[in-house]
Amino acid sequence: PTSMRRIQQVSSRHLNARTLCAQGKGGGSSVGSLVCRRTLLGLVGMGSLLSSSAASSAYAADGKVEFRRIPTQFIAALGDPTASQGTGAESWGLWRVDPGPRGVYLRDYERALKSKGNVAPAGWTFDDNDWWVEEHGLIMEKPDFPLPDGRYLVTGDRQVTTMLTVENGAWKLYEGSLYDVTHLPCRSARYSGSDPTRANQRDFPVKPGAVMPSVEGAEKQDYAVLFVIGVEKTFDPRYGR
């Protein structure tokens, strides 16, 4: 099966994210998407949150903050899911583009990656000492590390959309907990060692909120996935401040 997504209809007052999931047949490195999961990103009204002065003044404790819209990006985060602040953000990563459509299914690893010198059809390189898998069994490219310092508008596409501040390894949410801004259908894990051929295909797909499967011989670290829908106007997430 093939999953494809279409995102973003932006007007001057609203940021609407729409998902189009198409099913198809055929082999090859099937595509999936961190954005195309259930019926996600019902972001009507978030555009006005991004643009309104009321939203900016809501973060008065940190001074007036104005956000600008960006194409959806994805943070890979570690931390206590009940916490609203903490340390260790230097170990958080950022996918600046959706890695799902650029991924390769575990079942296609030998044909689409190993036989190609570990270079995926999308051009990224597989590292057998540091490889990532999402909830449908797609091997993904690594996120960029570390997450740059700055202020981000983040959401888990549930109840909470809020400001995330990252500075010198510390992180803080203006509202809610890390769990509140985690997109539960998006599961993500980092594996080191072993081989994707040792993964059990029957372990996928992974249920929303569940831990990712272990792979024989590999160490595993689960990461929470946060959607980034805006950044502070004076901030460029490609380079930091």
The secondary structure of 3-63 as a DSSP string is ------EE-SS-EE-----------SS----SSSSSS----TTHHHHHH-HHHHHTTGGG-
Low-confidence ranges of the chain (pLDDT < 50): 1-33, 35-48, 51-58, 60-61, 239
Model confidence, pTM: 0.78
- What's residue 4's pLDDT? 25
- What's residue 237's pLDDT? 57
Q: Is 150 helix (H, G, I), strand (E, B) or coil?
A: strand
Look up residue 211 and give its two tokens: 């831990």
Average of per-residue pLDDT values in the chain: 79
- What's residue 51's pLDDT? 44
* Terminal CA-CA length for the chain: 41
